């Protein structure tokens, strides 16, 4: 009995080995071929992966696009800031260039040998009030700086812009040559000639001074330079008023008249020079035409 049982176990073991070997042989023989159950499972898993992966890829792509848009926005904002900074720096450089040019011109005026007979006071325009009938600018120099009423005010090249009409301790007012209260006080001459006349008005629309009372026989032409004659006590000789742009005769045909474009840009004044003859008595006002 025990011998039979032992033999039975051996037979079962051998049978199991034979079945196992048969299954392995069958599996190797079938290769990559899948059973219907494997195919079913594979299709189910593949469909699930498709259902999950497609939305996942869409969501991932959406967030990637949002991130790209955000990065593009930040980069665009940064570029705009750089552009604004560049424009600001460029404007600062332009302003500094203009200021440097004006200061050089002012320094040149201080060393101008033709102004050696004058005391010179550099000043900056700090305010302006003008209309059709009255044009005044305010300077940052006043009585404590030696400024007195009646002093001529010029820009570079001895270009006349007006004269001091009011003085405070630290500021002063300049009446421009285009001021209707001032223009009838300028005795003028055409440079290089002995042709004299008077500046007696200003055409606001044309932006020209009216040069009147020129002798009818005088040879006057466009482009000639008009300067102060020195015949009045208000302005010394040789301060440039402007250039003749047009010549006519007066309404009676007795004298000639001319239009004169101011040499200085009266609408763009920053740094100016107040001058006074050294021989003049400090504090005295010069009167007369």
| pLDDT tens per residue, range 205-215 | 899 999 999 99
Burial of 198 (0-12, 13-18, 19+ CB in 10 A): buried
- What pLDDT is recorded for position 76? 82
- Identify the residue with better confidence: 270 or 106: 270
How do residues 23-64 score in pLDDT, each as one tens digit? 666 555 555 555 665 565 565 656 655 565 666 566 566 666
Could you give the domains of the chain? Answer: 118-277 (2.40.10.350)
- What pLDDT is recorded for position 232? 77
Q: Residue 244 pLDDT > 90, yes or no?
A: yes
Q: Are 160 and 109 in contact (CB under 8 A)?
A: no
- What pLDDT is recorded for position 38? 55
Q: Residue 166 pLDDT > 80, yes or no?
A: yes
- What pLDDT is recorded for position 34? 55
Residue 158 CB partners (closer than 8 Å, separation 6+): 109, 112, 114, 115, 238, 239, 240
- What pLDDT is recorded for position 26? 59
Q: Are 283 and 167 in contact (CB under 8 A)?
A: no
- Of the listed ranges 105-114, 135-144, 209-218, the least confidently predicted one is 105-114
Please provide the average confidence, as pLDDT, over all residues in the chain. Answer: 79
- Of the listed ranges 75-84, 118-127, 190-199, 205-214, the least confidently predicted one is 75-84
Share of the chain above pLDDT 70, in %: 75
* DSSP-assigned letters across all residues of 195-257: -EEEEEEEETTTTEEEEEEEETTS---TT-EEEE-S-SSSS-TT-EEEEEEEEEE-TTSSEEE
Q: What is the pTM of this model?
A: 0.63
- What pLDDT is recorded for position 214? 94
């Amino acid at each position: 009995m025990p011998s039979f049982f032992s033999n039975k176990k051996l037979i079962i073991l051998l049978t199991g080995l034979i079945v196992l070997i048969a299954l392995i042989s069958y599996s190797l023989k079938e290769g990559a071929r899948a059973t219907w159950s494997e195919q079913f499972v594979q299709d189910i898993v593949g469909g699930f992966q498709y259902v999950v992966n497609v939305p996942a890829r869409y969501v991932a792509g959406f967030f990637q696009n949002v991130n790209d848009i955000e990065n593009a926005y930040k980069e665009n904002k940064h570029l705009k800031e750089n552009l604004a900074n560049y424009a600001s720096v460029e404007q600062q450089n332009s302003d500094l260039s203009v200021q440097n040019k004006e200061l050089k011109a002012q320094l040149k005026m201080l060393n101008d040998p033709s102004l050696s007979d004058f005391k010179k006071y550099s000043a900056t325009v700090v305010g302006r009030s003008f209309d059709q009938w009255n044009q005044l600018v305010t300077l940052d120099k006043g009585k404590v700086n030696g400024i007195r009423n009646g002093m001529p005010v010029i820009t570079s090249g001895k270009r006349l812009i007006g004269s001091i009409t009011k003085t405070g301790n630290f500021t002063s007012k300049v009446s421009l040559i285009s001021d209707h209260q001032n223009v009838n006080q300028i005795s003028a001459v055409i440079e290089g000639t002995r042709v004299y006349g008077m500046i007696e008005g200003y055409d606001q629309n044309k932006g020209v001074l009216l040069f009147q009372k020129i002798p009818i026989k005088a040879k006057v032409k466009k482009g000639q330079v008009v300067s102060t004659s020195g015949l009045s006590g208000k302005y010394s000789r040789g301060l440039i008023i402007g250039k003749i742009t047009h010549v006519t005769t007066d309404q009676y045909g007795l004298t000639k008249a001319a239009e004169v474009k101011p040499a200085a840009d009266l609408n763009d004044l920053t740094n100016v020079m107040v001058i006074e003859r050294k021989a003049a008595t400090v504090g005295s006002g010069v009167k007369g035409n």
